[in-house]
Structure 1
């Protein structure tokens, strides 16, 4: 298939963000039905909103790669029930078994579904730092999920990944080369991307955002994320990007709303610091060019405050 044909597939996908739509796929616990992004690569796009009972905690992308020797899943999901729902969709697409699960980081929506996949006898692969993060915070993530989605997480329990790596984990199935790569510090500990070199497609996880505002956590160092982007993520020169949240897109879009946003916020906070501004005022530096993004109201002021704290003593 030509690149122009593949771009037509991308353009045919549902457009725009979906923060205000409670559930796009009432027939399933999944927020949306998986779509085939390019031949053999599917993604169930999560809500670009905080996790709720209505979206069952499915607010990140759950992807899978179909080969003639088995299926590789990217993200176990935010619960046993979501992983089970994704598996039902996989079975509707192919008789091939799921043979491997990659988790993009140590957050609950990437790993709490491990309990389902482990029960299927599938190896669950994560970066060592993501596994350590989940070991520390998995219980807290589960309790938060139980409070939000209640009975929709009742079968879920904390299960650690059983395979870890430091730099890369590569596998070839049915002639498809699949590489899980740790490129450096970014959004959260142990963030990885899954790279298909022959297809020029990257499943970026939380390395890249575009339809919803990215969150800067206490452990997120904006300057490090920018460096990782420029020295390791950008050089992949991916044609197709399935981000951690939001619809499949391209590098121009995720660069604009990830790398460029981080640079913009650091510039705004830097100017505020030079003017002698304090933390209380820093929360309200101008971020209006990004006000149209989903979760802006929840995250913009927090992001500014954390970047101020990072830059104050640089």
Structure 2
């Protein structure tokens, strides 16, 4: 369990330490690290703040679960069948309560490829309708990408579409918890949802929020809409605790600084570049030095700049 002093430090720190060079923290498991208790009943296995690799088994996002007193709710299917099974092994060490529900935070591989394991256990899998559509339309491609890096660790993984979908919210009262799965609006990728626990003032934010690693901007990421969703919906939660999609638990100030403020900063730099008549080839190199310390900066900064340029050119 995270002791209050440690949790307080994580919530108030300028930037929690994270490095792509840190070796696997839990070599006896496919999990990158062992689950920790964030607040009573809410656990998360914090993934590597790095691209998915064979060494981290694709566990480069946070796999969370809630021990409600009347069953367990899992957030994210995991990047492979074996990774989902490894998470279930850890859950069984913590509680004898059965897993009753799985949420997919979006349609990306690390959220959905482990669905096949959970489906074998007879567990319902819930996702936003847009995320389910992504899995249905591109699941084969996502699976092949995972097999390339995970090789034998991909064994048993097949595409399993979420068994239930929703458009706005899916609310569950289970044991001591009110669990609100909410679609707040366009953000990082189609069908991004957050899991809001109002009694705990805790949000499992998924890819709505980043802070230790640079956020990736995909071809279908609408950065202007992401900022609008943040300002109109995500801030309104006024969460005390934030479990982001990647990286350690933190607070709203930190994820605001490295998500919303980064998007605004990058759009401002690209806007200046466009106003000066700059082209795409130079847009890749606009100044992003205030964010150079973030993990995955080298992999993502230039791509992000290019994609924002392509968006803003026609706004």
Structure 1 length normalisation: TM-score?
Answer: 0.97
Q: Which ranges in structure 1 are unaligned for 5 or more consecutive residues?
A: none
Tell me how far apart the structure 2 counterparts of residues 11 and 86 of structure 1 sit (CA, whole Å).
26
Aligned equivalent of 1:231: 232
For residues 78 and 93 of structure 1, the distance between their equivalents in structure 2, rounded to whole angstroms, comes to 22
In structure 2, the partner of 1:96 is 97
Counterpart for residue 160 of structure 2: 159
Query: Aligned partners of 2:253, 2:7: CA distance in 1, in Å?
Result: 18
Q: How many residues align?
A: 310
Runs of 4+ in 1 over 6 A off after TM superposition: none
Post-superposition CA distance 1:254-276 (Å, at most 9, x none):
00000000000000000000111
Deviation, 1:22, is 3.3
CA distance in 2, matches of 1:181, 1:126: 10
Counterpart of 2:9 in structure 1 is 11
Aligned residues: CA RMSD: 1.3
Provide Cα deviations, 1:151-210, integer angstroms capped at 9, x if missing partner.
001110001000000000000111310000000000000000000001000000000000
Partners of 1:257 and 1:240 in 2: CA distance: 16
Equivalent pair of 2:10/2:250 in contact (CA under 8 Å): no
Q: 1:158 to 1:10 in 2, by over 3 A?
A: farther
Secondary structure of the corresponding residue to residue 172 of structure 1: strand
Task: Give 1:257's aligned residue.
Answer: 258
**Counterpart check, 1:192 vs 2:193:** yes
> d(CA) in 1 for partners of 2:124 and 2:308?
37
Alpha-carbon displacement from aligned partner over 1:29-71 (angstroms, at most 9, x marks no partner): 1000000011100000000000000000100000000011000
Match of 1:34 in 2: 35
Give the distance between the partners of 1:95 and 1:131, measured in 2 at CA: 30
User: Secondary structure, in 3 states, of the residue corresponding to 1:241?
Assistant: strand
Matched, 1:215 2:216: yes
Contact 1:10 1:37 in 2 (8 A): no
Q: State the alpha-carbon separation in 2 of the partners of residues 7 and 133 from structure 1.
A: 41
The equivalent of 1:118 in structure 2 is: 119
Q: Secondary structure at the match of 1:281?
A: helix
Alpha carbons 1:37, 1:43 under 8 Å: kept? yes
Query: What does 1:29-68 align with in structure 2 at a 5 Å threshold?
Result: 29-68=30-69
What SS does the corresponding residue of 1:52 show, helix, strand or coil? coil
TM-superposition CA deviations, 1:72-111 (whole Å, max 9, x none): 0000100000000000000000000000000000001000
1:10 Cα deviation (Å)?
4.7
Distance in 1 of aligned mates of 2:46 and 2:125: 21
Deviation of residue 136 (structure 1)? Answer: 1.2
Q: How does 1:160-309 map to 2 (within 5 A)?
A: 160-309=161-310
